[in-house]
Structure 1
Amino acid sequence: MTYENFEAIRVAVDAGVATVTLDNPPVNVEDAKLVRDLTRFARTVATDSSVQVIVYQSANPDFFAAHADNGWMFDPSGLMALADPDGDPGLNPLQQLHERLRTLPQVTIAKLRGRLRAGGAELAMTADMRFAAAGETWLSQPESLMGIFPGGGGTQYLNRLVGRARGLEIALSGELYDSATAERYGWINREIAPQYLDAWVSTIARRIAALPTGVATAAKEAFDAAEASGPVPDLREEAKAHGKVYPSPPSVVARVRVLMDHGGQQPIGEIDLEGTLRSIPWPAAE
C-alpha cells in the first residue's frame, strides 16, 4: 500500500505503525481537504494488513485540529458535497468520516498537543485511545456558542467516554478544558509530561503492533460487544436533532461572519475562541 499525494496529511508507516500527521495550515481546520484526505487514507488502510496501529498527531504544536470549517455555516452545500457514497445516508458527512475512522480494524491512538475543538475533538474521539501533553493540551466543544451543538458524532462519543451529565456540561458550557480535567472526566486516557509524550505513544503503539496477528482487532471487537446497545447506537438520532439547528438561521450565520472578521480560523482568533465568541452579542430572536 502507498500513502502519498495527500494535501492535508502526511503518512509514514514503520514496524506496523502508521503515523498520520495532520498538516493543514494555519490551524488544522477540518475542511474539505482534510476530510477528503482522511477518507482516502481510511479506505486504504482498512485493508492494509501490514498496519496494526494508527497514530494521529499534528504538525502544529498549538492546534491538534481547530474545528470543522466555519465556511460550512455560510454554505451548507459545501459540507453535503463531501457525502460518502459508501457511508450511512442517514448521517452527515462528518459523522460518516468519523465513523469510518472509529470503526477501522486497527488500534488507533490520538497523540494530542495544542487545542482541539468541535470537529477536531470529535476526530480525536474516534481513536481508541487518547494521550495528551500535560499543560499543553486543551479540549472544547464550543458549538453551543455558535448556535448549534456537536453534530459530528460528539454527543454520542462524549456520552460513551464521560457520561451524560459531563457530556451535557461540555457540550453546553462552551468551556475550554485542560488536560488534567479531561483526564479526570475520562475524555482522554491520561495526560503525560510533554517531554515524554512521544516516547510513551511510540512505545505503546509498537507493543500493540508486535502482538500476534489478529489479537488487537479481536480485542476491539470484544470491548465493543461489551457495550450492551452497540458501540454508538444513535448517530442517526444525533443527525436528526442537529437538523433542527443546522443549517443555521441568518442571524446566527451573521454572528459567525463577525467571528471570521475577528480572526476565526486564524491563530489570532483561535487561541481564545471561546472568549472571542462570547464577546459577540447574540442577535435578537427572530
Structure 2
Amino acid sequence: MTALSVDTTPRGVAVVTISNEPVNLMTVPVFLELADLVDDLAHDEAVRAVVFRSAQPDWFIAHFDVEAILGFPADQPTPTELNTFHAMCEMLRTMPKPTIAQIDGRVGGGGSEFALSCDMRFATPSAILNQPEVALGIIPGGSGTVRLPRLIGRSRALEAILGCDDIDARTAADWGWVNRVLPADEITSFVDRLADRIAGFPAHAVAEAKASVVRAESGVERDLLDEGAAFNRTLGEERSQQAMRRFLELGGQTAEGERRLGELAGEIADT
C-alpha cells in the first residue's frame, strides 16, 4: 500500500501528498518510497517544481519510526559516503528545481529534517515543529544538526535540538525555520501559485540560480558524514535504548502521545 500520491500540473508542478495514518509516521517502507520518489522527481525533466503536503490535517510527518531505530545496528563503521536518508535529503536540497514543504499540523524528528532539506517551508498557524531526538538518547541524525544552525543560527538551533520542546509556527517563522505562516484556508493556494509561477520561468535559469545558492552552503556533505558518525555512536549506548523504549511506553507514535511530544520528551527525562 502506497503512502504517497503524486499529481502533476500542466506546467510541471509535482504535488506529493503523504498519507500514513494515524500520524504520518516515517516508517522504513514510507522512507524507502519517499527516497525513490525524490530520486525520480529530481531526474524527471518534465517536473519543474515539487510540493510536499499531507493528507492528515494534524501531521505533516511525525518523525522517523523509533521502533525501527531501536533495531539499527550499534557497531556501524565510520561512514565514508552519505547514508540513504542523508542522500535523499541532499537530493531535495540540490535537485535543479525548487522543493517546497507545506506544513499543516505537527512535524518532528526525521520529518522535520525532511522539511528542512526542502528549499522552502510554509506553515499554518497550528503547525508545531520539534526535534525530540536528544531526549531519546540519540541526535537529529537525518541532517538536523547540519541544517538548523545554518538556517536559524547556533543558539536557536541548540535551543531546539537540546531542549526537545515544541516550537510553534510563529516562533519558527521569526527564527527562519519556516518562510512564513499562512492561514489554513490560504496556504494551499499560496504554495500552488508560487510553485506554478517558478515552474513557468525558464528551467535553465531556475536551475542555475538554485545551484548558485547551493554553492554558498559550503561543507554540507562533510558535516553530514560527521553527523552520521555521531548518530551511530549514540546507538551503542544502553541509555539510548532505555530512553527510546520509554518513549514508546509513554505513548510515542500514538496520536495522543504525539500531540504532546514536547511534554512527553520531558517525561522521559523525569524517569
TM-score normalised by L of structure 1: 0.87
What SS does structure 1 have at the residue aligned with 2:203?
Answer: coil
Does residue 238 of structure 2 align to residue 242 of structure 1?
no
Is residue 44 of structure 1 aligned with residue 40 of structure 2? Answer: yes
Q: Relative to structure 1, is the Cα distance of residues 217 and 68 closer, same or farther in structure 2, using a 3 angstrom cutoff?
A: same
RCO greater where, 1 or 2, for CA within 8 Å and sep 6 or more?
2
Deviation at 1:77, TM superposition (A): 4.4
Letter of the 1:121 counterpart: S
Q: How does 1:119-158 map to 2 (within 5 A)?
A: 119-134=110-125, 136-158=126-148
- Asked whether the 8 Å contact 2:121–2:179 carries over to 1, the reply is yes
1:251-266 matches, cutoff 5 A: 251-266=239-254
1:28 maps to which of 24, 28, 34: 24
Give the aligned partner of residue 90 of structure 2.
99
Cα contact 1:224–1:231 (8 A) shared by 2: no
Aligned partner letter, 1:196 = E
Aligned equivalent of 2:263? 275
Aligned residue for 1:234, secondary structure, equals helix
Cα distance change on mapping 1:45 and 1:281 into 2, 3 Å: closer
The code of the aligned residue for 2:168 comes to D
SS of the equivalent of 1:194 reads coil
Q: Which 5+ residue runs of structure 1 have no aligned equivalent?
A: 1-5, 81-87
- CA displacement at 1:252 relative to structure 2: 3.0
Bigger fraction of residues in helix? 2
Q: How does 1:1-286 map to 2 (within 5 A)?
A: 7-14=2-9, 15-77=11-73, 89-134=80-125, 136-227=126-217, 229-230=218-219, 233-245=222-234, 247-281=235-269
Give the 3-state SS of the residue equivalent to 1:279 in structure 2. helix
CA RMSD in angstroms comes to 2.0
The percentage of counterpart residues that share the same residue type is 36
Q: Is the 8 A contact 1:64 1:115 kept in 2?
A: yes
The 2-side partners of 1:67 and 1:269 are apart by: 13
Question: 1:110, 1:124 within 8 Å by CA — same for their partners in 2?
Answer: yes
Q: Report deviation, 1:51.
A: 0.7
Q: Distance in 2 between matches of 1:275 and 1:55?
A: 31
Which shifted more, 139-148 or 98-107? 98-107
Q: Identify unmatched segments of 5+ residues in structure 2.
A: none
CA contact (8 A) 1:225 1:231 kept: no
Cα deviation for residue 154 of structure 1 reads 0.5
Q: How many Å apart are 1:8 and its aligned residue?
A: 1.5
Name the SS of the counterpart of 2:37 in structure 1.
Answer: helix
Q: CA deviation at 1:170?
A: 1.0
Task: Specify the SS of the correspondent of 1:76.
Answer: coil
The letter for the 2-side match of 1:104 is: M
Residues 229-269 of structure 1, C-alpha deviations (whole Å, 9 max, x = no match):
35554111111222331x14334323322322332211011
Q: Is the 8 A contact 2:135 2:265 kept in 1?
A: yes
Post-superposition Cα deviations, 1:12-62, rounded to whole Å, max 9, x if no partner, equal: 111210001111112111111111111111221122111110000011111
**Aligned pairs, number:** 267
Q: Deviations over 1:87-108 (max 9, x none)?
A: x853333222222222222210
**Can you list the C-alpha shifts for 1:52-78, whole angstroms capped at 9, x where unaligned?**
100000111111000111013320049
In structure 2, the residue matched to 1:85 is none
